[in-house]
Structure 1
Amino acid sequence: MSGELQVLNLGKSYRQWGGELRRMASWFFRSVTPREEHWVLRNVSFAVRPGEAVGIIGQNGAGKSTLLKLITGTVQPTEGQVHMRGRVAAILELGMGFSPDMTGRQNAFHSAGLMGYSRADIERTMPEIEAFAEIGEYFDQPTRTYSSGMQMRVAFSVATAFRPDLLIVDEALSVGDSYFQHKSFDRIRQFKEDGVSIMFVSHSPSDIRTLCDRVILLDKGRVLRDGMPDEIVDFYNALVAQKENAQSTVEQRRASNGWLTTRSGTGEARIDSLRLFDSVNGGEVAVAQVGQQLRLRLVATVHAAIPRLVLGYMIRDKQGHVVWGTNTWHTRQIQEGVQAGERVVYDMEFTCDLGPGSYSVSPALVSCDTHLSDNYEWVDNLLVFDVVNVSRDFFIGSTSLNAHFAVTREREDATQ
């Protein structure tokens, strides 16, 4: 069976009635309303198709965790419906449902039992749960002695010990060491390859882009956007900057090559052009070679006097992973007291040590080391170029390392 989920006009409000009598009267008279009502989620509708991975993003307080609790039934909705098909495994708040006085093993039995598995199935799978959690003798110690990372290890191991039809993961994976985070993410990725439906809440744009087929952006308890991962993640980043810069606007456009351009900013400084050249012969480059000397040139025009101007670059691969980035704040090349009407030209020389593939350059004109203070203009994927390997030995990956093998063969002395 494949997991499937439908959410229809889901909403959750927290009400203050001003007294028990008033609350009871509301059961019989529709005219009796609460004295105060705060909606944390409202009019949320979407579907997760069998085998689909859907990401949920949004700022703190957007309603992400509340949505997952409504879907899993740990919180009852004020309005709307949730329809699910298949076996569901969920990892929400760390240690939810764990008794602090019970051991990790006992809590694993209890949690798996609540998920509907028989004692025989749990006993057969318990060695795998214990091995995946990797907490050693602590597995038979009370969970009150656990760190948050150890709780996450056991909770994740139990929830994923049996192949679910629908897996729901909150931001719990952000807790703990990087080794177990990678291990857990690999298991989630394997579930996706096996056709498990997934709902995934994360603050990591890289994880969202890698895992998800679709992304839903929640804002103030409502669905603001629902679409392709690159579109929604880039829009979300621009939205965060827009909230910090009241005059900022956001525009998106997808080019014929499939790359999405997201432009945001307040406009005091604008990017006129961004071009890539060969540093030796000066010709413009659309396809670079591994090891080629390149020059990236950006021309900006200032439309209003600004105290500081900083240029930042971010280079990403086709999957949206950042492979390199910096800005002139960190290189101590801040332009001070820039006046309206000035043009500023930035040239950056570099060796193309990227691996074969397609890459994008996202520039940002700001006033310091972050776009959250003054975002004059930020454009995701403004320049796209390809890299091919013509002259170097074959390698894979996004980086060409200056690496060489040293091989020594020794023969054991036959007389010894």
Structure 2
Amino acid sequence: MCSDVVIRAEGLGKCFRIYDKPRDRLMQAVRGRLARLGGGPAPRLYREHWALRDISFEIRKGECIGFLGRNGSGKSTLLQIICGTLAETNGAVNVEGRIAALLELGAGFNVEFSGRENVYLNAAILGLSRAEIDAVFPQIEAFAEIGDFIDQPVKTYSSGMFVRLAFSVAVHVHPQLLVVDEALAVGDARFQSKCLDRIKALKADGATILFVSHDVGAVRTLCDRAIWLDKGEKRLEGDVLSVTAAYMKFLFDDEEPEAGPAGGNKAAPPRHKQAIAHWGEAQGSILETTLVDGAGEAMSVVQGGEDFTVRIRCSLPSDVDVTSVSIAWSIKNLAGSDLIVATTWDNGFRFEPGMDGEVLAEFRLNNHLAPGSYMLAVALEDKASATVRYLEYIEGSLYFSSIWPGTVHGMFVPHVKQAISINSQIVATL
């Protein structure tokens, strides 16, 4: 294996045998052995289910790879094979380095043992000596934040306490390879943020990370590349923004849209050349998006502190209740993370019955974005229910740059007033 390739999968496949009745499993073993002894063909009392088929990829040291796919797509099966807890049916996978895995809640914990005992047991399994565990234990205990429960049997733990302790062990044993499979979904928002920060720190230290999450935003924030699995096969592999955009489009297109009245507008809207993702129910259409300056001139470069306007021209759907329609937009960085989001709905505007035709929506703001490149996402939304329906969604409808004179820091550059006092005397106000 190449020195910087830590995982190589070649033609990986996994087949499970599905039995209709529990006794069929025993009968298969008995009759199969008798058939082998007699030289005849073995009976087949099962059906084959291929959880993975012909999966190949390489992951290099220090990469953070996101795995995407709906439930049942084979993500967890693949990670179990990589971690060695499940054997492949065909193909091969080679892995180098110490693996710390969070494949499922509490995996590897003995529920009768205390949290402290489980820490020592799991860290020892991962290759740490007693002295090394003694040295790192205070950090594990502090990060987990379970207090006196550290000396209670883990069978008394809540699901949140379980995952906090398991994650804390995994990230403090100096893993070369960290595998996280949806384990953070049960944690509260504050702890999830804390875990993501820790994962980023491990990544900065050169650890390789395999990250499974249904939160596309988290995948985009953490990962360099993504692999999309669908029905046990690799559907797409590439840079994280392109793969997540294609996956989100697939999820939306795969949903059954609600039927509208006969004669509704079902023609597909025109594609935008720059868009990296474009989906929706083809009801209504986003015709044009531009950024304009104070004089109404289109712009692609916005000066720091300058006012500019997001202008969206669209047609309203003819077969949707317009009173629930919202025009939405967001400014994203080139990793796809939302930085600024605004909608006509959230700003208190409602379309009235009978409104139709072409709409021009303008949103004015001052540029506080740090220097860099950004993109605009625009959407027509149906807010009639708690789950937003996208009538049309375009990610990457246009791209622009923000520039500032001099050196600035951070993601945003707000105007900050300051006052300096020495011995209770104000010496400067800015």
With structure 1 as the length reference, what TM-score do the two structures score? 0.85
1:272-331 deviation per Cα after TM superposition (whole angstroms, max 9, x unaligned): 2111111x3222221112332222222224686443343221211233221122333333
Q: Which residue of 2 aligns with 1:22?
A: 28
Change (3 A) 1:338 1:237: farther
Whether the 8 Å CA contact 1:245–1:374 is kept in 2: the answer is: no
Shift of 1:116: 2.8
- 2:337 equivalent in structure 1: 321
Residue 33 of structure 1 deviates from its aligned partner by: 3.0
Pick the aligned partner of 2:67 from 53, 56, 66. Answer: 56
Cα distance, 1:128 vs. partner? 3.1
Paired residues of 1:3 and 1:166 also in contact (CA < 8 A): no
Alignment check: 8 A CA contact 1:2 1:197 kept:
no
CA contact under 8 A between 1:329 and 1:369: conserved in structure 2? no
Equivalent residue, structure 2, for 1:71: 82
Using the TM superposition, name which of 167-176 and 324-333 deviates more.
324-333
Q: 1:407 maps to what in 2? A: 420
- SS of equivalent to 1:224: strand
Q: Which residue of 1 aligns with 2:251?
A: 240
Contact 2:272 2:397 in 1 (8 A): no
Unmatched runs of 5 consecutive residues or more in structure 2: 258-265, 426-430
Given the alignment, which residue of 217, 242, 251 partners 1:231?
242
Partner in structure 2 of residue 10 of structure 1: 13
| 2:55 paired residue number | 44
**What secondary structure is seen at the aligned counterpart in 2 of 1:382?**
strand
Contact 2:13 2:50 in 1 (8 A): no
Does the alignment pair 1:299 with 2:313?
A: yes
The normalised TM-score by structure 2 is 0.82
Give CA deviations for 1:181-225 in whole Å, capped at 9, x if unaligned. Answer: 333323322222222221111223232123212101122332221
Deviations 1:335-358 (A, max 9, x none): 64566xx32222222333333322
Confirm whether residue 274 of structure 1 aligns to residue 289 of structure 2.
Answer: yes
Listed as ranges, the gaps of 5+ residues in structure 1 are: none
Q: Separation in 2 of the partners of 1:378 and 1:359?
A: 17
Aligned pairs (5 A) from 1:93-172: 93-172=104-183
Matched, 1:216 2:216: no
Q: Distance in 1 between matches of 2:395 and 2:41?
A: 50
Task: Write the distance in 2 (CA, Å) between the matches of 1:183 and 1:194.
Answer: 17
Q: Distance in 1 between matches of 2:361 and 2:401?
A: 22
Question: Per the alignment, do residues 2 and 368 of structure 1 end up closer, same or farther by CA in structure 2, a change over 3 Å counting?
Answer: same
The whole-number CA distance in structure 1 between the counterparts of 2:208 and 2:45 is 38
The amino acid of 2:390's aligned partner reads N
How far is the alpha carbon of 1:396 from its aligned partner?
2.5
Aligned residues: 403
Q: 1:154 to 1:367 in 2, by over 3 A?
A: closer
Provide the secondary structure at the position in 2 that maps to 1:381: strand
Distance 1:251 1:261, change over 3 A: farther
- Aligned counterparts of 1:201 and 1:161: Cα–Cα separation in 2: 20
Deviations 1:31-76 (A, max 9, x none): 6334434333333322212222211122233332232223223333
Name the aligned partner's letter for residue 187 of structure 1: R
| Residues 194-203 or 23-32, more deviating | 23-32
Change (3 A) 1:14 1:368: farther
CA RMSD of the aligned region, Å?
3.1
* Counterpart residue type for residue 242 of structure 2: E
The 1-side partners of 2:5 and 2:144 are apart by 25
Q: Distance in 2 between matches of 1:266 and 1:312?
A: 16
TM-superposed deviation, 1:99: 1.6
Find 1:358's aligned residue among 360, 368, 373.
373
Q: CA deviation at 1:17?
A: 5.9
